[in-house]
Structure 1
Amino acid sequence: MCADRVNGDDVRTMVREGAKKRMSFAFCLDGSKDPLLMIQPGKKPETLRNPVKQAGGTNPMAWGTYVVRDGEMEMICEQAPGKMITALKKFLQRNRPKVNVLFYDDGGNLLDSLKPEGESKGQADVDDVSATGIDASAVAPLTRRLKRIQPRIALAPGPLELKLKRALSKSVKLINAGRLQEAETLIVVIERAIARIGKDRESADKSMRRGQREMDQRSLGAQVKRAQALRANVARAPGPARDRLDRAVHVAARLLKKRDLSGAQSVMDRIEKALTTLV
């Protein structure tokens, strides 16, 4: 079986080979403290020890297998000295593999990860919420939920962690763009994912119920403001119509107090329609 040394320019070739089949790898530093990475097809990375030593490699040494799928290179390290994993990560980072690299031990535990250069640029977190010109009372509950779930995302398994971080970043950007309903939906998805893998004190159902309550509260606030605006318009209506519409506004207000949002919306729709006929 042929063992090939991977130089910096060959890292992307290494990725392409891993996309075709599972490969073995071994990594260490040579006598000059330069990185020495070798790969070969198959699942017996220990057979790379001799070729690596013949190429000038020294201990400590990391070896294992890797495979590339769905834009991620999973490196299963059967022998994984921490110093070598760090050095391997730096070597790959310098040579830009253009895929997410996930380093696992042979028990499936995530040791480290590497994102393609540029992926983290533009990736927002909770501290980047800056919804200028948007109702602060509508944004605050969403920000509070993001702050609660952000540290829990780090507890998710490697590939899922990356996906949830991207989802959180997108939800922040949606909030900043004023697209609160879309942000709300995405936050619910994140909450359910974290609850489902057992990294949250809440169950998925409890997360959904809490999310629905906060969504209803935000919607209630918007409907209260709508009722207040209608009342101001009704005050300018002609005498007989004003009395009738004012009573309707009070009906809508009572429904809002009962949190009957659909009923209140229906009444306010009729009030708006009546006001347009008076113009």
Structure 2
Amino acid sequence: MADLKVEGAELKQLVKLGKKRSLSFGFCPGPKADHTLLIDRRKSPEMLGKLARQEGSSPKVAFGTFEVKGRTMEMTCGRTVPQMAKVLKKYLKTQKITINVVVLDAEGNTVDSDVEDLAPDPSMEDDADTAAIQDDADDEVEAPAPAAADDQAAEAADDDAKDGTLDAASLAARLKALKPAVTEAAPDVAAKLGKVMAAAVAQIKAATLEQADATVTALENAVARLGEGAKSAEPATPADDEADFKALAVRAQALKGAIEGIAAPAKDKLMAALTDAVKQIRERNHDTAATILGKIETAVGKLTAATPAASADDGKATPADVAPFVQSRDAWIETRKNLRQEMTDLKSAIDTATANVDGFEDVPKKSGILLDHIDDIDSGLETTLDQIVKTPDEAKREELKAGARKIIETYRGVLDTDFFKAVDNNGFIKTNIRGSALDSLQKVSAALSA
């Protein structure tokens, strides 16, 4: 991707070419003016945005198209960054390009600008080099026109999207642009990529836009490497950016809570491993940290599944007044076990579907984040139900019941998030994660109300 970064005389020629045609760009601002600006005549703005973020030194990125009108660069953006006009104008000046900058949204509304009266600049007039660039552009073989949008992608584009930097329409447009390349790939590769595209469509329709963005980005990277030739392409390197750092930190924090409930000496060993993982995260050794966290997650999963339910009656017959709580507690423990297993199966299915597909090499280390969502449904309810069973005092038992009801409402809130609403339409395997959890919680609620 480094060959797309333009500076100096080459950048000036491309800016001047903007007087004749619209060009795509991606812009990633960096500290101390270490900015990354990519311009290309054929790649999509979204693709250049992703490449700029990977090439650049910050997670912020803008992308879109630009045209030059007189002494003003008009940039129509799918995504912007703060103070974009001022930052970019100042950067262009360091590249000996004195030009005003106006930033527009997708509808053509001005969202930012840095405009002043500029003295004439003969170097910004057309010359032979600019004409040569235009001639080269005219002679280029046009990429195949994208096929009509897939019906599901079109529907996804029309769905209401939640507020934020992502929107369903732009994600669907990126999918549409990828479709020709996927269709023309080798049959085995096309089949795998097609399955991933279907998953992205499902995520867009369910408004899980962060997941959809990650899926589409992986597809874009895969398609880019197909175009370059997988054998000749340089090996992919882990993305050492803020998004990866935060994702790993979230996994580590979730594991810390899960490990707290495990007995020694296993707890001590897992905490030591987690401390090592945290160190690797802080040092930005993301591959190593992800590997360690994955092993800890596997160990915690096995230990949690192997932990027997607490005995409430010490071998004695269960009193009739607590029998419903014993039954609902045991059923809930089994449900949580099944939830983790289904999510583990989904992770395996995703890893298998993307195996040996260029651009998806880092999927196995990142798909483990699926299990983090299960950690939000913790052992609090079963612990409270166990206390209800063991508490003979009626007043105390009613207090515990109220606590259990609050926990149930919290879990239902988790299950009503975009992730859980979409997970069973994942496009990889059939699951019933949300449905089974809600059904089991309803049965616990009924026991508490009896």
Please indicate the TM-score interval, normalised by the length of the shorter structure: 0.3 to 0.5
Q: What TM-score comes out, normalization by structure 2 length?
A: 0.23
Q: What TM-score comes out, normalization by structure 1 length?
A: 0.36
Question: Which structure: greater strand fraction?
Answer: 1
Q: Which has the larger radius of gyration?
A: 1
